[in-house]
Chain A
Amino acid sequence: MRYMMLIYSQENEAVTPEDMQAVAAAHGALMDETRRRGILSGADPLQASSTATVLRVQDGEALITDGPYAETKEQLAGYYILDCKDLDEALAWAAKIPTACAGMAGCVEIRPIREFPQRALVNA
């Protein structure tokens, strides 16, 4: 089953190029490893939340606002989609995802991807 791993990090504008490089290298290594195992189904970093735009269509009208959906201390910074046999495997991979930016650790939200059609025996 595929799990989406949403990376939430603090956005630090004072981050040094060395730190950035270290984080990028760690992501590169993880992507290589998961690709080699054939479980990487996607992974990308996102631009800072200051580049985000929210669109809401109400009564056929598009309402466009500046900024991310929620102003939180930690912002969505990137994602992985990995194919894992169960949540424990997903957790083990998620633990390897670097979330820190200049020493400020973030977190990873793990969400199972809803697959269609449901292949379970029951429980439609």
Chain B
Amino acid sequence: MHDHRATVESVFRQESGRIIAGLIRVSRSFDLAEEAMQDAFAAAVINWQADGVPANPAAWITATARRKLIDYARREQTRRNNEGQILYEYESRSCTIDEEMSRPFEDDRLSLIFTCCHPAINKQAQVALTLRTLGGLTTAEIARAFLLPEPTLAQRLVRAQRKIQQARIPYQVPDAGALPERLSAVQAVLYLVFNEGYSATSGDSLLRRELCAEAIRLARTLLELMPQNPENMALLGLMLLHDSRRDARSTADGQLLTLEEQDRSLWHQEQIAEGIALVERALGRRNFGPYQMQAAIAAVHAEARTAQETDWKQIAGLYVMLDRCQPSPVVSLNMAVAVAMSEGLDQGLAMIDSLGAGGELDSYHLYHAARADLLRRMGRNREALKNYQRGLALTTNAVELRYLRRRIAELAPSTATDSQDS
């Protein structure tokens, strides 16, 4: 006999976000919506085995979950009656559930995403809640991906859901006044999910890859829900362009490779094509934002068939624009690197030095690492080594530690014969 578990799982994967968003809207409760959906999927495993998979599995799940919600409402009613509390007209409420559920609920996922990423919820809980409800990941999966004990994560989720309910965090798309700020909070959560999967090398690598795929899926959903927003286009584009390099960016033993060192034939061209198309569409709106600039930079890198062909001049220009809309030390340092690669190493180094002149960057490992990289390219190996070592002392990130150690190991023997630096 064919096991329908796989079918149920694939329906869950595809549709759970949409289904739960509608259930939360009508029940006004994350807990109940989740319970109802889980019960419905459990019922599906049994029923579909016996009766075959229905023509529209998602509708079957929704209808079953809706009946569960009505059951819960009745159960609650009975409990309240038994406790002698005020009577509620559960019949009329059940009717409302039916009516509301049959309304088209295209926008529910959008409301849900804004609820999950509400700034009144702490950031880590926003991420977990988004993955749990819209991504359909289990608490165990999220805990493993973020290297957290499962009870810790479970508690975080419970606390956040309770706050949504008790502080009445609205389940709606924010009004026009609050929308730009709140949308960027949503984008930040999705990008954080992506980066969590992309930048760390510790933990379960399969799950990390899954996290990137999930972030891309959610970014796709966000764009589908707000298709005119150029930053939504760029966010998806940016993720695709980064993800296209997933097979090229590290060695078999987990050593991270720079763009320059990567085998570009391993880059996934389909994702690059989609990413570039998204970037072009976004920039065509002439309403620039930080994701567009970052995605455009990634696109310029992706277009270069070899590292030498990279259009660094264009990248430098894009960093100038990024620096204008989202200034940060990382952006400034990258801008200096792009200038070094396009205008000349001396100019780039001069720029880095002027950035560091104030002394604020002294404790920032990337400042020393960027300076070291330029010095290495200039052949000033002894100075480069010193800067790599300073960077090494300041970083705790495992990936960066390995990169800096590798550079130091490469330079250590050559510095003995380095004459430029005295």
Chain B contacts with A in 55-75, Cβ cutoff 8 A: 72-73
User: A47 an interface residue at 8 Å Cβ cutoff?
Assistant: no
Which stretch from A54-62, A74-82, A114-122 is at the chain B interface?
A114-122
User: Is B28 part of the binding interface, using a Cβ–Cβ cutoff of 8 Å?
Assistant: yes
Chain A residue with Cβ nearest B177: A92
B281 contacts chain A at the CB level, 8 A cutoff: no
Chain B hits for A121, CB < 8 A = 27-29, 73, 76, 88, 93
B31 CB within 8 Å of chain A: yes
Whether A86 is near chain B, meaning CB under 8 Å from some CB there, is yes
- The answer for the CA separation of A88 and B176 in the assembled complex, in Å, is 13
What are the interface flags for A75-100 relative to B under an 8 Å C-beta threshold, 1 for contact and 0 otherwise?
Answer: 00000000001111001000000000
8 Å CB interface, B159-178 against A: 165-170, 174, 178
A112 within 8 A of B: yes
Determine the distance from Cα of A88 to Cα of B152 in the docked complex, in whole angstroms: 28
Cβ–Cβ < 8 Å partners of A1 in chain B: 168
Q: Please name all residues of chain B whose beta carbon is closer than 8 Å to the beta carbon of A86 when the two chains form the complex.
A: 168-170
Closest B residue to A122 by beta carbon equals B76
A85 to B120, CA, bound (A): 16
Secondary structure at chain A's binding surface: helix, strand, loop or mixed? loop
Q: Residue on A with the closest CB to B120?
A: A87
Q: CA A123 – CA B178 in complex, angstroms?
A: 29
Q: Is the CB of B72 within 8 A of A122?
A: yes
What are the residues of chain A within 8 A of B168 when measuring CB–CB? Answer: 1, 85-87, 112
In the complex with contacts A88-B178, A117-B86, A122-B170 CB distance below 8 A: no
Closest to B171 in A: A86
Q: A86-B168, A87-B169 known; A123 and B85 CB under 8 Å?
A: no
B178 x A87 contact (CB < 8 A): no
Interchain nearest-CB distance for B101 vs A (Å): 14
In the complex the two chains form, what is the Cα distance from A124 to B174 in whole Å?
28
Q: Which of B29, B86, B169 is the one whose CB lies under 8 Å from A123?
A: B29
Partner of A88, one of B27, B28, B79, B174: B174
What residue in chain B is nearest A91 (Cβ atoms)? B120
Complex: how many Å from CA A124 to CA B165?
11
Minimum CB–CB distance from A35 to chain B (whole Å) comes to 22
Given contacts A87-B120, A88-B174, A117-B85, contact A122 B167 (CB under 8 A): no
B residues engaging A (CB < 8 A)?
27-29, 31-32, 72-73, 76, 79-80, 85-86, 88, 93, 118, 120, 165-170, 174, 178
In the complex, the 4 A-B pairs of residues with the closest C-beta atoms, listed nearest first? A86-B170, A86-B168, A112-B167, A87-B169
Given contacts A121-B76, A122-B73, A123-B31, 7 further A-B contacts (CB under 8 A): A91-B120, A112-B166, A114-B166, A117-B85, A121-B28, A122-B29, A123-B32
**Cβ contacts A to B, 27 pairs, < 8 Å:** A1-B168, A85-B168, A85-B170, A86-B169, A86-B170, A87-B120, A88-B169, A88-B170, A88-B174, A88-B178, A110-B167, A111-B167, A112-B166, A112-B168, A117-B85, A117-B86, A120-B28, A121-B27, A121-B29, A121-B76, A121-B88, A122-B32, A122-B72, A122-B73, A122-B76, A123-B32, A124-B79
